[in-house]
Structure 1
Amino acid sequence: MRRITTDPEAFDAFDALYRAHVDAVTRFLARRIDDPHTVADLVAEVFVAALDSSHTYRAERGGELAWLYGVARNILSAERRRAFKWARLTARISGSRLLEPDDLARMEEKIDAESAGRRALQAMAGLPKSERAVLELVAIDQLTVAEAAAALGIRQGTARVRLHRARRGLSLVMEGTS
């Protein structure tokens, strides 16, 4: 990926990146957030952040989607921190970001389609955060171990160990609930 922010011709490349991966990024966020307005905002933030940080992309560390998932995880973490702080400061969040009715309906369909993914994430909630992150990226988001490692900024060997532990831990949790 070329440096989009400094190369005017690279805007076409960014457009292609957006079109190729917007649905995957939307699904990634819809599995983790159930509000269509927030999902739409975060998808936009991911691609703005990708535009701003396009110079950090390294193809040898993983594909574009793995990189975008890493960006999305950072955006999601920042959003959760912001929401937690806001909830502490106010009893009720007022105002709503508006979407057109058709956009809202499409976003609700995507969120509904990802309900199984949200249930799986809830089952994984008891796992340590580092193990859960690798498992989510590999099992739910369909990244390779190498791509998950790149998205998390860890070594492949570390990712493999965490994935093994997460699968073993999830197996124990699932046995306990059956």
Structure 2
Amino acid sequence: MLSAGDRISFETFYVRHVDTVLAYVSRRVSQPDVAFDVVAETFARALDRRTQYRSRRGPAVAWLLTIARNVLIDAQRRGRVADDTRQRLQMQPVVLEDEELREIEERSAAPLSEALQRLPAAQREAVERRVLQEEPYATIATSLKCSEQVVRQRVRRGLAALREDYQEEQR
């Protein structure tokens, strides 16, 4: 999916994951224009570094959310969202109108919340704590009184179910 020269597959990747990244970012950023900038820089970095993705390390969405987390940390440190990667890739800035900002607000939370509610409780908790709250596997396992492997499996299954659910909605 993230091959070095295939922009069409990256577009498919973007369409598949943009709402998840937007929901993740919007839970941490209150202004829709800032959320948009973080999402844009996240995907620019993913495009720029697509050859670094290794599927054996986990699902692509987890890799993408890690990039988003790093962009957010960077933005907090700098006091603004960096656009270095977008500039280097010569991406034109996007100017958002009020209507587009409202759409970002609407899209940011509802799909993820609804999708998470459809997961079994154990998977939902594992995904929320690991992916959204970024808790270490060991911490989650200790509090749930199970092994890290069980938590990893719940996260993996939950993310797979979310991906499948999303793909069904797109058809």
Give the aligned partner of residue 153 of structure 2: none
> Does structure 1 retain, via aligned residues, the 8 Å contact 2:32–2:105?
yes
The verdict on how the C-alpha distance between 1:109 and 1:164 changes in structure 2, with shifts beyond 3 A counting, is same
Q: Write the letter of the residue equivalent to 1:46.
A: T
Amino acid at match of 1:138: V
After the TM superposition, which residues 22-37 of structure 1 pair with which residues of structure 2 at under 5 Å, given as runs?
22-37=18-33
Partners of 2:53 and 2:75 lie apart in 1 by 22
Residues 116-165 of structure 1: per-residue CA shift (max 9 Å, x gap): 9xxxxxxxxxxxxxxxxxxx98326768xxxx9xxx7xxxxx93312245
1:18 counterpart SS class: helix
Quick one: structure 1 residues 166 and 111, their matched pair in 2 at CA, closer, same or farther if it must change by over 3 Å? farther
Q: CA–CA distance in 1 between the matches of 2:99 and 2:72?
A: 25
Change over 3 Å in CA distance of 1:17–1:78 after alignment to 2:
same
Taking a change above 3 Å as real, the CA distance of residues 106 and 141 of structure 1, as seen in their structure-2 partners, is farther
Where does structure 1 differ by over 6 angstroms across 4 or more consecutive aligned residues?
Answer: none
User: Which of the residues 94, 99, 114 maps onto 1:102?
Assistant: 99
TM-score (structure 2 length as normaliser): 0.59
Would the alpha carbon gap of residues 62 and 109 (structure 1) be closer, same or farther in structure 2, given more than 3 Å must change? Answer: same
TM-score (norm 1): 0.57
Flag structure 2 segments of 5+ consecutive residues without an equivalent.
81-93, 114-124, 146-171
CA–CA separation in structure 1 for the residues paired with 2:109 and 2:69: 21
Question: 2 CA distance for matches of 1:161 and 1:23?
Answer: 28
Contact 1:28 1:141 in 2 (8 A): no
Partner of residue 140, structure 2: 163
Contact 1:34 1:111 in 2 (8 A): no
Q: Distance in 1 between matches of 2:126 and 2:31?
A: 21
Matching of residues 1-178 of structure 1 within 5 Å: 1-4=1-4, 7=5, 10-83=6-79, 98-110=95-107, 113=110, 138-139=127-128, 159-164=136-141
Note closer, same or farther for the CA distance 1:68–1:43 as it changes in structure 2 (3 Å cut).
same
Deviation at 1:55, TM superposition (A): 1.1
- What is the CA RMSD across the aligned residues, in angstroms? 3.3
Aligned residues: 120
Offset, 1:104 = 1.1
- Confirm or deny: 8 A CA contact 2:29 2:35 kept in the other structure: yes
Is the contact between residue 57 and residue 67 of structure 1 (CA under 8 Å) also seen in structure 2?
Answer: yes
